[in-house]
Amino acid sequence: METIISPSLLAANFLDLKGEMEMINNSEADWLHLDVMDGVFVPNISFGFPVIEAVAKACRKPLDVHFMIVQPERYVQQAAKAGAMLMNVHYEACTHLHRTIQEIHAAGMKAGVTLNPSTPVSVLEEIIRDVDMVLLMSVNPGFGGQKFIENTIDKVRRLKELIEKTGSKALIEVDGGVQQDTAPRLVEAGVDVLVSGSYVFKATDPIATIHWLKQLKK
């Protein structure tokens, strides 16, 4: 299976979002990753639904929307209406995770669950067959450009074992510090979807960088 590439909008030039969307549309990127932060669940505020709606109109790639917020279940319908293909919620933010996953599916979106670096893979045992994707944070969420947490490689392997053992169809996505050194090791460990922000958007040639990531094979 080819590696799915989901560049992270957080690292884009917000003064030229139209130009950035043209770059994404002309590239081999499969999805576009959008980080919604509320300043409560994570110590940063990013953007909300007006930006998602605007990007959805300009971007021809499916939107992979990651909600780093408290009570994400309150925004399921709004996320679907704004154009999200996949709604990703944090395990740590959802008291009734199974219900939230059901609501995301009922709204017509794919459902993802995110784990913070310190949250073990084992918490997913009862939900792994119900989700379409698991996102492992390889940095502490809230800011772009952070250093990759090495333990993520082993965590990917443990998640892959859980998926195979349970017969789950969930994809494995990793976000944080994905670049030239870490991307090949992540794919080798079993990652299906690479999220990359600064490494793509700050590159001299973002389209060539996306192409390089896309060539990585298990």
Catalytic member of 30, 64, 132, 175: 175
Side chain identity at 31, as an amino acid letter? Answer: W
Bridge-partner residues for 63, per DSSP? 32, 84
CA distance 82 to 157: 34
Side chain identity at 148, as an amino acid letter? Answer: F
Catalytic member of 35, 64, 132, 192: 35
In the annotation, is 35 catalytic? Answer: yes
In the annotation, is 130 catalytic? Answer: no
Instruction: Catalogue the active-site residues.
Output: 35, 175
